[in-house]
Amino acid sequence: MQDRLQALKEEALLKIEQASDLKALQDVKVSYLGKKGPITEVLKGMGKLSPEERPVVGAYANEVRDAITSALESKVAELEQAVIEEKLKKESIDVTLPGRPVRQGNAHPLTAVIEEIEDLFLTMGFTVAEGPEVETDYYNFEALNLPKDHPARDMQDSFFITEDILLRTQTSPVQARTMEKHHGRGPVKIISPGKVYRRDDDDATHSHQFMQIEGLVVEENVRLSDLKGVLETFAKKMFGEDRKIRLRPSFFPFTEPSVEMDISCFKCGGKGCSICKHTGWIEILGAGMVHPNVLEMAGFDSKKYTGFAFGMGPERIAMLKYGIDDIRHFYTNDLRFLKQFKKA
């Protein structure tokens, strides 16, 4: 019986050594160590042995089992390692190859213009103030000298959420809120950039959502000449040092007097071209001296304090600065358009 076990051991070890894959090893395991394998069959005949022979044969049978099991485990590890090495050869990476360049993004042209404007006014001592885009009727209109029955409200078709809540039509509410926080004490010197909303039909020059930057200065003895100086500095820094400005009378409910500011055309130098519509001037923004009613409603003594305010559309400035002919380009996320401003 021991001879038979020895023969089975040698036979199994040879087949294990010759196995070329994991399936062949599994077949060897089942054939020799399974319940119906030859080793089990040999052990079934132990009942015919004498009591003295049984423990000897049993011990030897366990040795055979252990030897075959150990050989199987070693061969499995060897074949698995070979599989890994073969896979590594096929999927190897040449680390000496140069990496693929990662494209670096760039600021959206509208963001670039807004940040340029902010940086300019920060150097003039202004601070940046922000406020809610969902606004109350009071701050959006009434606090800016636009009572409920004022005809100038018709100039701003609005997205009302309730009778008293709407999407702000301008960033002017930030001015009213900021003045309130000062409790009637100056100075106030802010710009307020942000999104605003109006019920416009979208076309090349109009959008239901657009950006706006407004500025406000409230202090003692502020004059219209101070406003002109600030706007002239802005025009020269944004469009060139040789730019000239002119102020035309206008009307805004929250300023008195009110003006529109034009700059001399940066394309033709004032001679007349398609950009300035052959006038030599380009309209840029609206401005004026803060209306006494606005100051009083915000808690300021209009006999002691005066101020000026201005408002501009960054889209218009970006369109002029970069020669963009359609405001919708800013919002369609067309990479063909955006890639043109990599250095903007």
Contact predicate 5/60, CB 8 Å: yes
- Whole-angstrom distance, CA of residue 204 vs CA of residue 182: 40
Highest mean pLDDT among 53-62, 65-74, 110-119, 263-272: 110-119
Average pLDDT, the chain: 87
Q: How far apart are CA 24 and CA 32, in angstroms?
A: 12
Q: What is the mean predicted confidence (pLDDT) over 55-66?
A: 75
252, 258 contact by CB (below 8 A): yes
Greater confidence (200 vs 39) lies with 200
Residue 124: predicted pLDDT: 95
Pairing label, strands 188-197, 209-219: antiparallel
Q: What is the pLDDT of residues 40-60, one digit of tens each?
A: 666 666 666 677 776 776 777
pLDDT on residue 258: 96
**Domain assignment of residue 193, yes or no:** yes
Residues at the binding site are 256
Least reliable range by pLDDT among 86-95, 183-192, 230-239 = 86-95
- Decide which of 23, 57, 91 is a domain's last residue: 91
- pLDDT surpassing 70 at residue 163: yes
Residues 58 and 197 both lie in one domain: no
Same domain assignment for residues 120 and 13: no
Domain assignment present for residue 99? The answer is no
Given pLDDT bands bounded at 50, 70 and 90, which one contains residue 152?
low
174's tokens? 């930030």
Q: Is residue 145 part of a domain?
A: yes
Which pLDDT tens digit goes with each residue over 235-278?
999 998 989 999 999 999 999 999 999 999 888 877 888 888 88
Q: What is the pLDDT of residues 325-334, one digit of tens each?
A: 899 999 998 9
**Do the domain assignments include residue 159?**
yes
Domain boundary among 91, 119, 134: 91
Question: Does 340 have pLDDT greater than 90?
Answer: no
* 85 & 114 share domain: no
pLDDT digit string, tens, across residues 291-317:
999 999 999 999 999 999 999 999 999
Residue range 132-159: mean pLDDT, rounded:
85
176 lies in the same domain as 322: yes
Pair 86, 182 in one domain: no
CATH number of the structural domain spanning residue 149: 3.30.930.10
Residue 274 lies in a domain: yes
What percent of the chain clears pLDDT 70, i.e. is strictly above it? 93
Whether 104 is covered by a domain: the verdict is: no
Report yes or no: 263 and 282 within 8 Å, Cβ to Cβ: yes
For range 173-194, the mean pLDDT: 95
- Does residue 257 lie within any of the structural domains? yes
Question: Are residues 121 and 33 part of one domain?
Answer: no
Q: What one-character-per-residue DSSP string does 292-328 give?
A: HHHHHHTT--TTT-EEEEEEE-HHHHHHHHHT---GG
> Is 46 found in the same domain as 11?
yes
Specify the number of domains making up the chain: 2
Q: What percent of the chain has pLDDT over 90?
A: 49
**87 and 139 fall within a common domain:** no
Task: Say whether both 23 and 170 belong to one domain.
Answer: no
> Distances from the Cα of 263 to the Cαs of 216, 230, 246, in angstroms?
21, 14, 6
Q: Do 259 and 322 reside in the same domain of the chain?
A: yes
Q: Are residues 141 and 11 in the same domain?
A: no
> Are residues 282 and 330 part of one domain?
yes
Q: What pLDDT, on a 0 to 100 scale, did the predictor assign at position 196?
A: 94
At residue 151, the pLDDT reads 74
Q: Is the dihedral of CA 23, 27, 33, 34 positive or negative?
A: positive
Q: What is the pLDDT of residue 142?
A: 93
Question: Known binding site for Mg(2+): residues?
Answer: 256
How many angstroms from the chain centroid is the CA of residue 40? 70
Phi-psi domain of 310 (left: phi exceeds 0; alpha: psi -120 through 50; beta: other): beta
103 within domain boundaries: no
Domain assignment of residue 286, given as a range: 109-341
**Do the beta carbons of residue 174 and residue 282 sit within 8 Å?**
no
Where is the domain boundary, 44, 62, 91?
91
SS3 assignment, position 120: helix
